[in-house]
Amino acid sequence: MRTTAVRLYGAHDLRLETFELPPIRENEILAQVMSDSICMSCYKAVVQGAAHKRVPADIAEHPIIIGHEFCGKILEVGGKWRGQFYPGQKFAVQPALKDPNGPVGVYSVPGYSYPYFGGAATHIIIPNAVMERGCLLPYTGDAYFYGSLAEPMSCVVGAVHANYHTTPGTYTHDMDIKAGGACAILAGAGPMGLGAIDYLINRDRRPQVLVVTDIDQQRLDRAAQLLPVEMAATRGVALQYVNTRDIADPVQYLRALTDGAGYDDVFVYAPVAPIVEQADAILGFDGCLNFFAGPTDPAFSARLNFYNVHYTATHVVGTSGGNTDDMQESLDLMSAGRINPAGMITHIGGLRADIPATLQLPSLPGGKKLIYTNIDLELTAIEDFPEKEQSDPLFAELAAITAEHQGLWSAEAEAYLLAHAPSIEE
């Protein structure tokens, strides 16, 4: 089986190549990737190359396939896994599998470590460790892109589950956000923040107050359009969007929204020291600060008020990814229609667009960039579809479909794209 894939050879060195995959072994599975969304973590790996802890030191000679937010269908199953998995079955992958026998030991994960296993490819070989650890998840949804978004959503889910609170006089940690409490998401109007808002207002355990801040009014307006305060109110959540750019004292302003009590849970969605310090300053008694956004600088630091740590029980947690249960919860909520992370996606492209999009990711506007690996299509913003419809009938139909879905990507749009876009093999 031949595959076309984006491979990493070193720092900033990505190449689109077609090559032959080896025959699968008894404990492996051959699969076709259909969609892969680009994560900022991919950019970090590409920037660092072999210096990244999940990337093998010998990638110059043995390159790896990038991409870890992918969904596809199974083509061939090795003997060990027949009966449990079958050809034609859709799947998603939990990438935090920690394969101790992989190329970099326990840090081995798809999209960083394997020569034949990553999302930015037409075809891949899924290694035994994925199935052994329960990280190959059957997917029954009607669109592949939801399977791709299950991984970033699992990061959101895992972060919420990682928060904890205590009862004075005991040492028992009550995991998760405080039910009926006050919650804030700082720098939270980006794609991952949208997923967090959606999850927090539509899950069973919800805050009573949810404040989302950002300094980009356009992003805040889009968030408010996709996730209106009126809709949150029907779930018993008082949702507020706040632009802190021109507020003289954001800490005082944000605390005033809780009548001065402060927040039970604060999530930091940008690795910026002033935002971390702002989060610390708005915590209430027993408040939990979750540092969600991972920095690229190993020396990143921010000030923390240890007087409050000692006397008001404030505390800090951090998560990197979600576990298999978190991803399964994401898939279940999407399949049940309780959450719709389609709003995270702002751009669509084919496999050839993956390299420039990954290399330029921090400077590209908008949210998630979704790559359909078997087609050839330039990276295009969904909002730009109408501009292209005069010259390309493909975009004319996509513009009409997305207009019917509030400007969002959808299962209908995906089906049309896969049926009519040129193949990467052409």
- Give pLDDT tens digits for 221-259: 999 999 999 999 999 999 999 999 999 999 999 999 999
Mean per-residue pLDDT for 8-29? 98
Kindly tell me if the per-residue pLDDT of 416 is higher than 90.
yes
Shared domain for 130 and 253, answered yes or no, is: no
Q: What is the pLDDT of residue 190?
A: 92
Mean per-residue pLDDT for 124-153? 94
- Domain of 358 in residue numbering reads as 351-420
Q: Model's pTM, two decimal places?
A: 0.89
Task: Annotate 50-70 with DSSP letters as a single string.
Answer: GGSTTS-TTTTTS-EE---SE
pLDDT band at 142 (very low <50, low <70, confident <90, very high): confident
Shared domain for 180 and 225, answered yes or no, is: yes
Q: What is the pLDDT of residue 336?
A: 87
Domain count within the chain: 3
Across the chain, what does the average pLDDT equal? Answer: 95
Instruction: Give the C-alpha separation, 88 to 74, whole Å.
Output: 5
Tell me if residue 237 falls in helix, strand or coil: coil
Shared domain for 202 and 134, answered yes or no, is: no
Residues 107 and 54 sit within 8 Å (Cβ to Cβ): yes
DSSP 383: G
Shared domain for 98 and 174, answered yes or no, is: no
Q: What is the pLDDT of residue 96?
A: 87
Instruction: Please write the tens of the pLDDT for every residue from 35-66.
Output: 999 998 899 999 999 999 999 999 999 999 99
The answer to whether residue 234 sits within a structural domain is yes
Kindly tell me if the per-residue pLDDT of 426 is higher than 80.
no
121: β partners: 5
Percent of the chain scoring above 70 in pLDDT: 100
Shared domain for 292 and 195, answered yes or no, is: yes
Residues 304 and 280 sit within 8 Å (Cβ to Cβ): yes
Shared domain for 356 and 311, answered yes or no, is: no
Kindly tell me if the per-residue pLDDT of 359 is higher than 80.
yes
Instruction: Give the C-alpha separation, 367 to 2, whole Å.
Output: 32
Shared domain for 296 and 366, answered yes or no, is: no
- Mean pLDDT lowest for which of 66-80, 94-108, 122-136? 94-108
Mean per-residue pLDDT for 96-117? 93
Instruction: Please write the tens of the pLDDT for every residue from 306-348.
Output: 999 999 999 999 988 888 999 999 999 998 889 999 999 999 9
CATH of the domain at 60: 3.90.180.10
Instruction: Please write the tens of the pLDDT for every residue from 168-185.
Output: 888 899 999 999 999 999
Q: What is the pLDDT of residue 97?
A: 86
Structure tokens at 170: 């005991």
The answer to whether residue 393 sits within a structural domain is yes
* Closest CA relative to residue 389, chosen from 401, 374, 375, 373: 401
pLDDT band at 391 (very low <50, low <70, confident <90, very high): confident
Q: What is the pLDDT of residue 390?
A: 82
The answer to whether residue 108 sits within a structural domain is yes
